[in-house]
């Protein structure tokens, strides 16, 4: 029988063992008042348990192992931190257990108290299939309330992990939220392909310099294209030549060094997504919206947030160009709805959540979650897999949570830590 400590923890936590006539391996009558709180950190597995052994009631910790001899194998014998263990819960008892003070530890053996049906369901779910999503055959049976509660929990987990990068960058920027937001927003304007050069460009061009030239659109464009390395090459058209002239002056004034131009990628990209077009849009946004993060904190309506990024008027030159000195047919170059939603999802939501959590202002956390509920779901192979299994995916709230579920639970078969897996395994 393939048995894991995770499964034993699951059995104990939810009291899924035969509790009639409980006795310790020493023959004493045993009653479990409380299994305790599951501890995922160092120390005993369950803390603050309450039991009665014989006529004595005990409060303390419970430690769980497959075999009682594992107590010694795991080094607990000489560890005083385990002297307050009041009950050793094991699948099989193969060795008497004595504390460092010489006193025996009451032991409960569960080998004959676990339903074979429950074990078979667990084994088939975790070990008995090679499916991409272990519970493919059962997930559709999970009720909507359980699914929604679990998706909400793991969505918050996902945002908490992602917010760690924001707080780390905030520390490097000496607590400046505007500068930190500007750097992350810039990286996300590059989307996946050009995220790195966009980020490097923003870090090489502090927002404080842009603020000093905020009333001059040409200078803002010159600074951004110049720091991106696009004004160090041979140019012919009047517009890029004017930018170069402005940049040469500003670079000397602020002691600026551009990033390497070769970092930018154009290959196999639609012209609308060329980095030159994205840089033009980013420059227009900087011109249009000074102190952007402060504005976002004040905006309460989702439609107003969308308009902030949708109504960007770029320089007329880009109406007939995708690259410098290469004329093209006239075409609009505003950000499409999909691009706006990607920026809202990857930057605005993340920063509202991070700011609210860091500043202990819950209404910003709530606003971030509400924004996710108003952004359409992403379409990718993971969401497609869940959709074919009958999971309802309408908004980015669900799609982001399902990405977390797949990448950090399903892929590692952590079914016993998953609300969906627990619901499927739990007896009716």
Residue the block writes with tokens 């639609």: 270
Q: How many CB atoms lie under 10 A from the CB of residue 184?
A: 22
pLDDT at site 311: 81
DSSP 111-145: TTSS-HHHHHHHHHHHTS---SSTTTTTGGGS-HH
155-187 tens-digit pLDDT: 999 999 999 999 999 999 999 999 999 999 999
What is the phi/psi pair of residue 418, to 5°?
A: -105, 130
Residues of the chain scoring pLDDT < 70: 1, 100, 128-129, 428
Question: In this structure, which long-range contacts are made by residues 202-211, counting pairs with CB atoms below 8 Å and at least 24 apart in sequence?
Answer: 204/256, 204/257, 204/258, 204/259, 205/256, 206/179, 207/178, 207/179, 207/182, 208/179, 209/254, 209/256, 210/286, 211/290
pTM given for the model? 0.86
CA distance 204 to 316: 26
pLDDT digits (tens, 9 = 90+) for 108-148: 999 999 999 999 888 888 886 677 889 988 899 999 999 99
Q: Give ∠ CA 371-373-376 in degrees, rounded to 5.
A: 100
The reported pLDDT for the residue numbered 4 is: 87
Summarised one tens digit per residue, pLDDT across range 196-219 is 999 999 999 999 999 999 899 999
Tell me the C-alpha distance between 310 and 289, whole Å.
12
In 3-state terms, what secondary structure has residue 107? strand
User: So what's the pLDDT on residue 241?
Assistant: 97
Provide the token pair at 181: 């937001």
Count Cβ atoms below 10 Å from residue 291 Cβ, excluding itself. 14
3-state DSSP percent of the chain in helix, strand and coil, to 5: 50, 10, 35
User: What b/e readout covers 1-10, taking b as 16+ CB neighbours within 10 angstroms?
Assistant: eebeebbbbb
Q: Is residue 181 within 8 Å of 351, Cβ to Cβ?
A: yes
At residue 129, the pLDDT reads: 67
């Amino acid at each position: 029988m393939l048995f894991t400590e995770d499964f034993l923890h699951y059995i104990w936590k939810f009291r899924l063992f035969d509790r009639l006539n409980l006795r310790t391996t020493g023959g004493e009558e045993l009653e479990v008042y409380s299994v305790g709180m599951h501890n995922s950190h160092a120390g005993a597995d369950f803390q603050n348990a309450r039991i009665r052994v014989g006529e004595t009631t005990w409060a303390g910790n419970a430690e769980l192992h497959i075999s009682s001899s594992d107590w010694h194998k795991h080094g607990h014998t000489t560890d005083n931190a385990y002297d307050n263990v009041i009950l050793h819960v094991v699948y099989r008892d193969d060795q008497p257990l004595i504390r460092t003070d010489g006193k025996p530890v009451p032991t409960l053996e569960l080998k004959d108290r676990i339903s074979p049906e429950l074990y078979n369901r667990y084994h088939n779910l975790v070990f008995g299939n090679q499916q991409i999503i272990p519970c493919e055959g059962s997930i559709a049976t999970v009720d909507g309330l359980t699914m929604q509660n679990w998706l909400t929990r793991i969505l918050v987990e996902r945002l908490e992990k992602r917010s760690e990068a924001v707080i780390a960058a905030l520390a490097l920027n000496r607590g400046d939220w505007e500068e930190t937001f500007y750097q992350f927003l810039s990286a996300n304007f590059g989307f996946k392909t050009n995220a790195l050069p966009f980020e490097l460009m923003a870090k090489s061009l502090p927002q404080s310099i842009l603020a000093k030239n905020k009333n001059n659109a040409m200078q803002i464009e010159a600074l951004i294209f110049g720091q991106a390395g696009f004004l160090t090459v041979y140019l012919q058209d009047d517009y890029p030549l004017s930018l170069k002239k402005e940049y040469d002056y500003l670079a000397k004034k602020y002691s600026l060094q551009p990033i390497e131009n070769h970092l930018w990628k154009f290959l196999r990209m639609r012209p609308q997504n060329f980095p030159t077009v994205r840089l033009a849009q980013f420059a227009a946004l900087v011109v249009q919206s000074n102190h952007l993060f402060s504005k976002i904190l004040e905006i309460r309506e989702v439609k107003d947030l969308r308009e902030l990024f949708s109504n960007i008027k770029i320089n007329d030159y880009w109406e007939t160009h995708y690259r410098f000195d290469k004329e093209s047919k006239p075409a609009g170059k505003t950000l499409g709805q999909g691009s706006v939603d990607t920026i809202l999802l990857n930057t605005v939501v993340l920063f509202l959540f991070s700011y609210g959590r860091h500043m202990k202002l819950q209404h910003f956390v709530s606003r971030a979650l509400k924004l996710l509920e108003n952004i359409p779901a992403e379409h990718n192979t993971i969401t497609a897999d869940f959709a074919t299994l009958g999971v309802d995916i309408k908004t980015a709230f669900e799609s982001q949570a399902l990405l977390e579920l797949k990448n950090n639970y399903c892929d590692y078969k952590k079914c016993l830590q998953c609300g969906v897996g627990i619901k499927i395994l739990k007896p009716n």
